[in-house]
Structure 1
Amino acid sequence: MSLTTKEQLRAARAMLDWSQQDLADHSGVSLSSIFRLENGSGPLAIRLDTLQKLQTTLEKAGILFLPENGGGPGLRTRK
C-alpha cells in the first residue's frame, strides 16, 4: 500500500512522535514541501520520487500503510 493522503502523513508522524522538521531531517525532503503536503487540499499532489522518499522513511521508522477496505486507507505501527 502507499501513502496517498495528507491525513496519513500527519498520522504517521504523530504515531512516531515526529515533527515536520524530524520528517524532513530523516527523509531529505524539504520542510516547506512537507508543510505544503500536509496543509493542501485533496489527494497528495507531489512528485512520485518525493512521495516515495517520505513513504520509505516512514516505513523504515516502523509505519505500515494499509489498503483501503471500504473506510479509506490507513496505517499502523509494525509490531
Structure 2
Amino acid sequence: MITSAQMRAARALLGIDQKTLAAQAGVSVPTVQRMEASDGNVRGVVSSLVRVIEALEALGVELIGEQAPSQGTGRGVRLKSPPIHETSTTN
C-alpha cells in the first residue's frame, strides 16, 4: 500500500505536478487530488491506484513499503521512523 505522503514525495522527486501524473496514469486530476488528500494510506478505486503506482514506477520512482528493503540502486529518500507530531500546550 502507498501512503499519500509517499505519493506527494514521489511527485516531488520526479518534479512533476498532479496534472502530469494523472495524464501518465490515465486517471483524472481530481482522482490524484483525492488520493493525495487521503489520511495515511491512499484510498480510492484499486484499479486507479494501481495505474498511479505503475506510472510512478515507470517514471523512475521505487516505492518502498514499511520494513521492506530497497531493490534499487539510485538515490532516494526514506523515513527512518514515522514522523513525530508534537502537540503544543498553552498555559
Q: TM-score, normalised by structure 1?
A: 0.79
Note the C-alpha offset of 1:54.
0.4
RCO greater where, 1 or 2, for CA within 8 Å and sep 6 or more? 1
Q: Counting strand residues as a fraction of each chain, which structure ranks higher?
A: 1
Gaps of 5+ in 2: 75-91
How many residue pairs get matched?
72
Give the direction of change, closer, same or farther, for the CA distance of 1:33–1:64 in structure 2 (3 Å limit). Answer: same
1:11 and 2:1 equivalent?
Answer: no
What is the alpha-carbon distance in structure 2 between the residues aligned to residue 59 and residue 32 of structure 1? 21
Q: Is the 8 A contact 2:19 2:29 kept in 1?
A: yes
Partner amino acid, structure 2, of 1:19: D
What is the root-mean-square deviation of aligned Cα atoms in Å? Answer: 2.0
What is the alpha-carbon distance in structure 1 between the residues aligned to residue 5 and residue 17 of structure 2? 14
Q: Counting helix residues as a fraction of each chain, which structure ranks higher?
A: 1
Q: Is the 8 A contact 1:12 1:58 kept in 2?
A: yes
Give the direction of change, closer, same or farther, for the CA distance of 1:58–1:78 in structure 2 (3 Å limit). Answer: farther
Q: TM-score, normalised by structure 2?
A: 0.69
Q: 1:43 aligns with which of 36, 41, 47?
A: 41
Percent identity, aligned pairs only, is 31
- Max radius of gyration: which structure? 2
